Amino acid sequence: MRIRVSLFLIAIASLPALHADDWPQFRGPQRDGVSREKGLMQEWPAGGPKLRWTFDGAGLGYSGPAIVGDRLYLCGARGDEDFVFALDLKGDEPKELWARKIGPRFTWKGNQWNTGPNVSPTVEGGRVYALGGFGDLVCVDATDGQEQWRVNLPRDLGGEVNPIGGGAEEPTPLGWGYSHAPLVDGDRLICVPGGSKGLLAALDKKTGKLLWQSKDVAEQASYSSPMIAEIGGVRQIIQVTNSGIVGITIEDGRTLWLYRRDPAYDDVVIATPIVHKDHVFSTVGFQQGCDLIKLVTDGKKFDVEKVFSDRSVQNRDGGVILVGDHLYGHSENLGWFCREFITGKVAWSERNKLARGPVTCADGRLYCLAEKGEVVMLVEPSPDGWREKGKMKLPRESQRRLPSGGVWTHPVIANGRLYVRDQELLFCYEVRK
């Protein structure tokens, strides 16, 4: 009997482990929209995966969930105020543990698009960082929601958001509200206040004290989130603005390099850049286009080489995903597409299968969400063509979404579950094999 038990334990130990993964910030662990999780369904049954639960108390806004262990953190407007709150995921239904005020609910006169917070919370080291549309940045304890510190980006750091496309402009230009996701690197919290005092800022993540502000780049903030990358042995922050792309030192906020786009992006800059080795890709919708640059360095000085700048990819707000050597996402002029990252050669495009929307990747599958129609598709990323592996329609549609808004929140995959938000409605699906 002991021999049989031992053999059984050895056999179990030799099986490949299913790897669950947290989703602690916007676009996942590496901010690239790709989960490292394994053991997920490669095809869906008819009608899609099993709906585990629906939470209808998320409030208004486009913030996506951040998930660490058995807790989910989310931001939403309730009444006239923006909140960050935590849900316990251990049971069959989510249980709200705490809620903490961020600031007044973001909106403006004549607003038909977005109200409430746009930004997914960032969770690190037992703290949750949440940013409201008016620039209220708060740090709260992840366990009980007690406020640790707060900073207002316009008031305390001279912040401004580029108002191209409309939005709130009085007394400070805020456009459609702050929409970048702050990131943590070491002891620093990196945020993008924008304005004459500096595009980027580093705060002490424990106290909120200002460590530096990138005064050499005094541009207004875009809606794109910053990325951290190490290029040529130099760790740096990469940020896309309306004028182009910039690299900033993490230590003191000095400018490492600057790419000026000609012409500048003349509409809202939303998508997070894709950084791959020594290349950086950015894209903007509304017939603006895309840029791919290569960074060349001798270890001290950076030079920027333009690979291309054209209108071949026009992504609005759903982002693009790099899988292997190919980019995937939606472009206004192509529909859903696959193209080579370096050359820009289009492998395929598909206009008819699914409407425009955000995309996330996990375990060799793309999770594509239509911003209109509430449809989610599971697609195999392949340069050989659109390979649909499942389709479902969300069971309910928000009745509180503003008339010109869409389902813009990016899907999240964490610990074997898929999360999709439509304003006050948060859907959780079981997607493990």
pLDDT tens for residues 392-415? Answer: 999 999 999 999 999 999 999 999
For the chain, how far is it from start to end, CA to CA, in angstroms? 32
Q: What secondary structure does DSSP assign to 321-362, as a single string?
A: EEETTEEEEEETTTEEEEEETTT--EEEEESSSS-S--EEEE
Q: What is the three-class DSSP state of 9?
A: helix
pLDDT tens-digit map of 100-127 = 999 999 999 999 999 999 999 999 999 9
The Cα 383–Cα 323 span in angstroms is 10
Q: Taking residues 153-179, what's their average pLDDT?
A: 95
Whether the CB-CB separation of 71 and 88 falls below 8 Å is answered with: yes
pLDDT tens-digit map of 315-367 = 999 999 999 999 999 999 999 999 999 999 999 999 999 999 999 999 999 99
State residue 155 phi and psi, 5-degree precision. Answer: -75, -45
| Homologous superfamily of the 14-430 domain (CATH) | YVTN repeat-like/Quinoprotein amine dehydrogenase (2.130.10.10)
Residue 303 CB neighbour total at 10 angstroms: 10
Residue 385, Cβ density class (10 Å: 0-12 exposed, 13-18 middle, ≥19 buried): exposed
Whether the CB-CB separation of 89 and 71 falls below 8 Å is answered with: yes
Residue 271, Cβ density class (10 Å: 0-12 exposed, 13-18 middle, ≥19 buried): buried
Which H or E run includes 152?
strand 147-152
State residue 7 phi and psi, 5-degree precision. Answer: -65, -40
Average pLDDT, rounded, for the chain: 94
pTM of structure: 0.95
Q: What is the three-class DSSP state of 192?
A: coil
The Cα 102–Cα 137 span in angstroms is 7
Q: How far, CA to CA in Å, does 88 sit from each of 73, 228, 427?
A: 9, 30, 15
The reported pLDDT for the residue numbered 299 is 78
Residues whose CB falls within 8 Å of the CB of residue 15, separated by 6 or more in sequence, listed in order:
none
The reported pLDDT for the residue numbered 143 is 98
- DSSP state, 226? P
pLDDT tens-digit map of 198-245 = 999 999 999 999 999 999 999 999 999 999 999 999 999 999 999 999
**Nearest alpha carbon to residue 78 among 104, 112, 113:** 104
State residue 50 phi and psi, 5-degree precision. Answer: -70, 130
- Listed by start position, the domains of the chain span 14-430
The reported pLDDT for the residue numbered 170 is 82
> Which single residue is written with the structure tokens 């899609």?
48
pLDDT tens-digit map of 58-88 = 999 999 999 999 999 999 999 999 999 999 9
Q: What is the three-class DSSP state of 64?
A: coil
The reported pLDDT for the residue numbered 1 is 44
The reported pLDDT for the residue numbered 408 is 98
Residues whose CB falls within 8 Å of the CB of residue 372, separated by 6 or more in sequence, listed in order:
355, 356, 357, 406, 407
Whether 12 shows a pLDDT value over 50: the answer reads no
Whether the CB-CB separation of 35 and 77 falls below 8 Å is answered with: no
